[in-house]
Amino acid sequence: MPKKKDFIALTDYDKETLIQLVKRGIELKSGAVPRVEPGKALALIFTKASTRTNVSFQRAIQKLGGYPIYLGADSLQLSRGETIGDTAKTLSGYVDAIMIRTYSHKDVLELAKNATVPVINGLTDLLHPCQALGDVMSIVEKKGYQFDKIKLAFIGDGNNVCNSLINAAGLFGFTMSIACPAGYKPKPAILDPMVKKNPRITIVEDPKEAVKDAEAIYTDVWVSMGDEAQAAERKKNFMKYQVNSELLKHAKSDVMVMHCLPAKRGEEITDEVIDGKHSYVFEQAENRMHIQEAILEYLLTNN
């Protein structure tokens, strides 16, 4: 019996498959007819607050002719001590796929290990693969598929979004320059293998150096969920890492600005940039829905 397919990390797939998913996301965005048999059910487990992941996945399965089942943290027996393994086995008898957005990456791995239906990582403290693949789709829409000619500058915290973008850079082959303060670099377990695969992934401390010749500038909040106790210290350390009009002057004249949202306006990004002519932020947010349509279609027709 073939191994069950999940979507836990971009590195679970090869470049060719990921490109096909990006192409399919663009096709579905343009109105292509879904290839999924109608009536599929997707369980959505949320132990972490969400706007975009929640709505985009609900709409994605609906657009494929299926329906979502929302499961908040308080509505699950997980909150009363049921194991993730038992939850996975039970839900596998009710639904066709499971999406989970949670804190611990180990929880997603445990869910996937015990489920007999596809499991999708909607976000963990380590990775955010659906976001990153949607980001690649957004870059392709603006810059095309010549990844070896694309440079992405990531400004800020080496967090879960940054980790998945590093995986994307390693797999797709685009240049990625990451500007972050000392102490906030991406995890070596993520960074080192991708640098070996693609030496054009680099870490610098100066944001101006990072954005030089960049086609895309990406940022995220300085204080992620779970880091609130460090808020004051983080804001102090990241003061020089704001994406503003002055920073954009050091990038290419047609640079696109990206943010996974929600944004803390006036901190990591200014109003004039997020609302300005270079911003692709809200198109990028919409693309989460379309790439997740493609991911769901792939998993529901290949398991």
> Does 259 qualify as catalytic in the annotation?
no
Query: Catalytic pick from 130, 220, 278, 290?
Result: 220
> Does 101 qualify as catalytic in the annotation?
yes
b/e 185-195 (16+ beta carbons within 10 angstroms → b): ebeeebbeebb
> Does 131 qualify as catalytic in the annotation?
yes
> Does 130 qualify as catalytic in the annotation?
no
Query: Catalytic pick from 6, 52, 131, 234?
Result: 131
Integer angstrom CA distances of residue 216 from 88, 177, 210: 39, 10, 11
Asked whether 46 and 281 are in contact (CB, 8 A), the reply is no
Query: Catalytic pick from 130, 162, 180, 260?
Result: 260
Query: Catalytic pick from 234, 288, 290, 292?
Result: 288
Of 146, 145, 188, 151, nearest to 169 by C-alpha is 151
Query: Catalytic pick from 101, 234, 259, 278?
Result: 101
Q: Report angle CA 235, 238, 241 to the nearest 5 degrees.
A: 135
> Does 220 qualify as catalytic in the annotation?
yes
> Does 128 qualify as catalytic in the annotation?
yes
Residues assigned a catalytic role: 101, 128, 131, 220, 260, 288
